[in-house]
Amino acid sequence: MNNYLSISLEVQKALREGKPVVALESTIISHGMPYPQNVETALRVEQTIRDNGAVPATIAIIGGKLKAGCSPEEIEYLGRKGQAVTKASRRDLPVLLARKEDGATTVTTTMIIAAMAGIRVFATGGIGGVHRGAQQTFDISADLEELAQTPVMVICAGAKSILDLGLTLEYLETKGVPVIGYGTDELPAFYTRHSGFGVDYRIDSPEELAAVFKAKIECGLKGGMLVTNPIPEEYSMPKETIDCAIEQALREAEQLGIHGKQCTPFLLAKIKDLTGGDSLAANIQLVLNNARLAAKTATAMCK
């Protein structure tokens, strides 16, 4: 076994017995929400996965160990430490491991550690993608490259609406990543169900999601699969409202010179303020919705 990988006893037992396991990221804990909502949400998401028949595996880097399955105490630790925890992408892993430091895993690093542990399904909020203005800045999330090479199904509420969604879809097509709409023909845009962009395929059941991913793996096709699961209708924000907040947040980020890995946390926090907290409530609900679907899909895979 990888000397740096630490799999919790619960997750080890589930994998050994062929039970469904769902990976969860930790950036949403340390960088995505304020304390204590971050810890409360993380524990609710874990419980939602249990309620739907699977075992949760919250993934993080703690003390230089790649953790596949965090304890409630470790989740509390990450939540309290907040943005003092390094937001860890692929490039950060060797340094954090060698220095025995902590890291909050992004979509990219959660996929890497999940694949190491043998976990095939991962539920998150939204993936990163091609940022607006990337023609000049070349600001493209490592999430897209990871989807192109690591065999994990990522279930999300679409790409974050702060991104250039059209270019994000073009990039995924170039990399051969199938973009599946769960119960929808349209790419959801995180806080809202509507983006105006189509997906590659629509699938309406966890069983078919599992069958498609199984076919991909058994054919030896490289990379993962992106499943976009729209936020429930009752929590979806009007597209005009969220677009207006995003435009204002982007202007402020540009004025302040914020870019790189600081960009997304700044924009999400600013959008929360501009929407009076509505975006945070929507964020929590979409993550819970994705956890439910991930647990059902992981269960279908095991069957």
CB atoms within 10 A of CB 1: 8
Cα 75 from Cα 67, distance rounded (Å):
11
Q: What is the DSSP string of 26-93?
A: SHIIIIIS-TTHHHHHHHHHHHHHHHTT-EEEEEEEETTEEEES--HHHHHHHHHHGGGSEEE-GGGH
Active site annotation includes 270: no
Catalytic residue (choose from 25, 46, 74, 146): 25
Cα 2 from Cα 155, distance rounded (Å):
26
DSSP 260: G
Looking at the DSSP bridge assignments, the partners of residue 123 are 24, 155
End-to-end CA distance of the chain: 26
Residues 216 and 225: beta-carbon distance below 8 Å:
yes
CA distances, 189 to each of 136, 152, 198, 200, 267 (Å): 23, 21, 11, 15, 15
Residues 111 and 137: beta-carbon distance below 8 Å:
no
- Sorted by sequence, the CB contacts under 8 Å of residue 151 that are 6+ apart come out as 115, 120, 216, 217, 222, 223, 224
CA atoms within 13 A on the CB side of 74: 19
- Sorted by sequence, the CB contacts under 8 Å of residue 193 that are 6+ apart come out as 184, 186, 230, 231, 233, 236
Give the distance, in angstroms, between the CA of residue 117 and the centroid of all CA atoms in the same chain: 17
Catalytic residue (choose from 67, 87, 160, 270): 160
Q: Report the catalytic residues.
A: 25, 160
